[in-house]
Structure 1
Amino acid sequence: MTSETREAFGQVGIWSGALHGSRTDDAGRAAIAEALSELDDLGYGTVWIGGSPSPDDAAAVVSATRSVTVATGILSIWDHPAQDVAARIAAIEADARGRFVLGLGVSHGPMVPQYAKPYSAMVAYLDALDSATPPVEPGRRVLAALGPKMLKLATARAAGAHPYLVTTEHTAEAREALGPDALLAPELTVVLDTDLDRARTTARTMLSMYLQLPNYTDNLLRLGFTESDFADGGSVRLLDALFALGDTERVRARTQEYFDAGADHVALQVVTADEGGSGLPRAEWRQLAEAFGDAL
């Protein structure tokens, strides 16, 4: 990965599952476009379109922004044929002018009826992207990698990795697996609430779905957590390891911990009690942009 790629991503980005214009009405699409324009102005390095976006979602986000890097976080390889994705990205590139990155993942067995041999499926998908006309070059894609094999693949066949729901310990291990040159851009979930009991309640609401998915729980078990940490929405130990809970200074400190562990870029996902993590928390995005300042 080149220094230009690292610079394009910036140090801090915003990850949001609410940027799916294809899943809402005209008013919803207008609200998303307005929020995206503001994110561009706030100076974040990258906007990550979360929650299994489609190529159409990516095209809409690119069209609504001017300078920010746009990445899918993460497009499921089971939902979109590689040749179709390559063709759509070629069309997107007219607006993107090099600032779109395809984030790919294998999703989860409980969510995908045809789920089988995920590593082999990803290899085949990357082969298809390589052979498409025009191809999606390795430098324009990242992988949602958690385990060692997928991390190695992210080094060999992509610009790097975008791990989701991971600790700083995982980030250190991922950096070792990736080597010094590949991009490492973990997601970090943020609850801006100085009432820690309430913040943990919000975090548990968000986390409950993910604790039903073996890819995440197996990864956490590898990191030294136990089944007891998954009970009742997550132990305090687990929440404190996976989230940034508190004020903006706490978020900055937690983000720095990921940088210290080897991350190049951290994608901040803001969840709020009133929106259940599904809205556009624009006030919180502003607060974080002000807190990070030039560090964005």
Structure 2
Amino acid sequence: MRGGPGALFATEYHQGSGQLSREERGHRGDRVELGGIGVWSVPLRYGAKGEVVEAAAELESLGYSALWIPDVGGDVFGAATTLLKATRSLVVATGVLNLWMHDPADTANGFARLSGAHPGRFVLGIGVSHATSVDRIQPGRYHQPLAAMAAYLDALDTAKPPVPTSARVLAALGPKMLTLARQRAAGAHTYLTTPQHTQQARTILGADRVLAPEQRVILETDPTTARDIGRRHLATYLRLPNYTNSLRHLGFTDDDLAGTGSNRLVDTLVAWGDEDTIARRVGEHYDAGANHVCIQALTSNRDTFPRKTWRRLAPALTTAR
């Protein structure tokens, strides 16, 4: 596999002014090195604490450089703290914090606690989630997500202490949110996308921003078994307009998106096969412009830690960085 160069977060001064630009206002943040290959995992966020601690330590020993955890309820900063304490130098990132569920002042305080206790090891990923999820709790709250993100970033900039641009990334699919990620964050964390999207996102972000796509992987060579696992996982996402609209822009048809998805859709979104095949698929994101990729390992049981998959893939994914 062609190894990624790694993603470096650093706040830079506005050229020639001696001052921070508006996009970098707040304060200079610690440099955060994501490295080339990470792990995105639901069990690391919501699994039994004892196994979370064991798995995180093992992932670090296997050579993975970052852990990404979702936020669909509960104490996301507490979960990140558990992972940071279980490891020595590995980076932990939220993938992503749901801005509708967290007051920006609380988010800034949570970031300050983690970055103070573990300098250079925490990245704040922020997203706008989905109308169906947000409005289920408070009908009508999900409104103008791009403006909501900009306002949230304004609040993080003026919080005391602020959250530096250098330590935050935005969940972004479309060109407007990607542009905001270029202007107001260190870069973008993309989810349920393809190398084609990675190439498009890199063009919008420019050469100096972080681009960290998530890639689903299934260590299974039987097409029927792999596609069955993939379909069961994708079913939820195919009911969310944010994702289906993005996939249509990438050339998928209504037939591809119908039901549990076509073979073409599953095979494109999910890298399945042996270790070398998966490594090549991950490498396609690097070739398209990613400087960090986080794998989400899928198995027949979504609630278990896919530790065997992480172990078997580590040599192919980590040694070439």
TM score, norm. by length of structure 2: 0.86
The more displaced of 56-65 and 28-37 is 56-65
> Higher relative contact order at CA 8 Å, sep ≥6: structure 1 or structure 2?
2
2:49 maps to which of 14, 25, 29: 29
Question: In structure 1, which of residues 72, 94, 98 is the aligned counterpart of residue 116 of structure 2?
Answer: 94
> Which consecutive aligned stretches of 4+ in structure 1 deviate over 6 angstroms post-superposition?
none
* CA deviation profile, 1:235-267 (whole Å, cap 9, x unmatched): 111112111011111111101111111111111
Paired residue for 1:242?
Answer: 269
1:293 Cα shift?
Answer: 3.9
Give the whole-Å Cα distance in 2 for the aligned partners of 1:71 and 1:52. Answer: 15
Residue 69, structure 1, aligned to residue 91, structure 2: yes
| Residue 4 of structure 1: how far off its partner (Å) | 4.1
Structure exhibiting the larger radius of gyration computed from Cα positions: 2
Q: How does 1:159-170 map to 2 (within 5 A)?
A: 159-170=186-197
Give the structure 2 partner of residue 292 of structure 1: 317
Instruction: State the 1:95 CA deviation.
Output: 2.9
Q: Amino acid of the residue matched to residue 11 of structure 1?
A: G
- Write the distance in 2 (CA, Å) between the matches of 1:52 and 1:203: 21
Partner of 1:252 in structure 2? 279
* Percentage of identical aligned residues: 48
Gaps (5+ residues) in structure 2?
Answer: 1-5, 11-31, 136-140
Question: Which 5+ residue runs of structure 1 have no aligned equivalent?
Answer: none
Aligned pair partner of 1:11 in 24, 30, 36: 36
Letter aligned with residue 161 of structure 1: A
Paired letter, 1:261: A
Structure 1 residues 271 and 104, CA gap change in structure 2 (3 angstroms): same
Question: What value does the CA root-mean-square deviation take over the aligned residues?
Answer: 1.6
Match for residue 149 of structure 2 among 93, 109, 122 = 122
Report what 1:112 is aligned to. 134
Going from structure 1 to structure 2, the CA distance change for 1:221 and 1:50 (only over 3 Å counts) comes to same
Q: Whole-Å Cα distance in 1 between the matches of residues 318 and 186 of structure 2?
A: 27
Number of the residue aligned with 1:45: 65
For residues 173 and 291 of structure 1, the distance between their equivalents in structure 2, rounded to whole angstroms, comes to: 26
More helix by share: 1
Q: TM-score, normalised by structure 1?
A: 0.93
Name the stretch that deviates more: 46-55 or 95-104: 46-55
Among candidates 102, 112, 134, match of residue 80 of structure 1: 102
Query: Which residue pairs with 1:202 in the alignment?
Result: 229
Are the aligned partners of 1:171 and 1:263 in contact in 2 as well (CA < 8 Å)? yes
* Count of residue correspondences: 288
1:3–1:122 distance in 2 versus 1, CA, 3 Å: closer
